[in-house]
Amino acid sequence: MGEAIVFYGLSAFILGFAVLVISTRNTVHSVLFLVASFLFVAMLYVLLGAEFLAVIQVLVYAGGIVVLYLFVVMLVNLKRAPETHQDPRRQTRLGVAVAGAVLAEFLAIIVYSSTNPSAPAVLAAGEVIEGGNVEQVGWLLYTNYLIPFELASILLLVAMVGAIVLAQREL
Amino acid sequence: MLEITPSHYMVLSAALFMIGVIGVMVRRNIIIIFMSIELMLNAVNVNLAAFSQQWQHVTGQVFAIFVIAVAAAEAAVGLGIILAFYRNKETVNIDEMNVMRW
């Protein structure tokens, strides 16, 4: 019951903010809605018992990638005056309503997760990894998936060099 | 309805993915199109995490971390390309991006 309430609330927020991302005229607002959508996806990961993935989502997506987007949106100057609405209090009321809904969602998640501790993971052939979610993910990353992990780091290095070269004044 | 199964997560993931596809199809601003691609990658990650929970196995979460790493690399290079293009052509509208078209 509690899980259903949390899941449907989170789904509504994720899909609603995703629709706002692709429907808003102002690009900066679109990026901010994207942050909100990513944060709610991170909460969905907590609901699924993937705490490490939730932290990575907040750090890399909401913290890193979105800042990159904001920088690009501000660098490419889109020469459009921000439209003003007739009723200036309307956005305040809307903001308060959305903030209240988000707070209720947080409380629901806290209540649900405090009553349902996550179960330990079981590897193939009955092998059980002890410890929390971070230890399990780290164990798999450095044993079974060591080569893909190193390839991902090389990919990130290449992307970093490529981005620096592309952003140079004289291409 | 009240018991949340992996099908629920798959429906959510499919809806999120479709929103991303619609964004790529409809919008003409290349920055919005990039954000729609990020939404689609997020939908895939939701699926991976849901199956990871269903099978009680963290491999799905490891895959999701790889997807996030690739998304970060894609965003860095893609936004670099957008910046370089904007410096030359003064536009982010994909209808005007036709210098590579023969």
SS3 A75: helix
| Model pLDDT, residue A94 | 80
Stated as kind and residue range, the H or E segment containing A108 is helix A89-115
Outline which parts of chain A fall under CATH 1.20.120.1200: 1-79
Q: Is residue A87's pLDDT more than 70? A: no
User: Across the interface, do A61 and B66 touch by the CB < 8 Å criterion?
Assistant: no
Q: Is residue A52's pLDDT more than 70? A: yes
| DSSP letter (8 states) at residue A129 | -
Residue B48 near residue B63 (C-beta atoms within 8 A): yes
Taking only the tens place, the pLDDT of each residue in B63-85 is 999 999 999 999 999 998 888 88
Q: What is the 3-state secondary structure (H, E, C) of B21-71?
A: HHHHHHCCEHHHHHHHHHHHHHHHHHHHHHHHHHCCCCHHHHHHHHHHHHH
The token pair that represents A33 in the structure block = 């809605």
Calculate mean pLDDT across residues B92-102.
Answer: 78
d(CA B59, CA B67): 13
Q: Which amino acid is at A133?
A: N
SS3 A90: helix
Residue A122 near residue B57 (C-beta atoms within 8 A): yes
| Model pLDDT, residue A101 | 85
Q: Locate the chain A residue with the closest alpha carbon to B51.
A: A48
CA dihedral A85, A88, A92, A94 (to 10 degrees): -40
| Model pLDDT, residue A1 | 75
pLDDT band at B102 (very low <50, low <70, confident <90, very high): low
ipTM: 0.90
pLDDT band at A145 (very low <50, low <70, confident <90, very high): very high
Compute φ and ψ for A128, nearest 5 degrees: -110, 130
The token pair that represents A29 in the structure block = 């607002």
Which of A75, A78, A155 comes nearest B70 by C-beta?
Answer: A155
Residues of B in contact with A79 (CB under 8 A): none
Say yes or no: B21 contacts chain A, CB-CB below 8 A: no
Q: Which amino acid is at A59?
A: L
Q: What top-level class would CATH report for the domain A1-79?
A: mainly alpha
A128: left (phi over 0), alpha (psi -120 to 50) or beta: beta
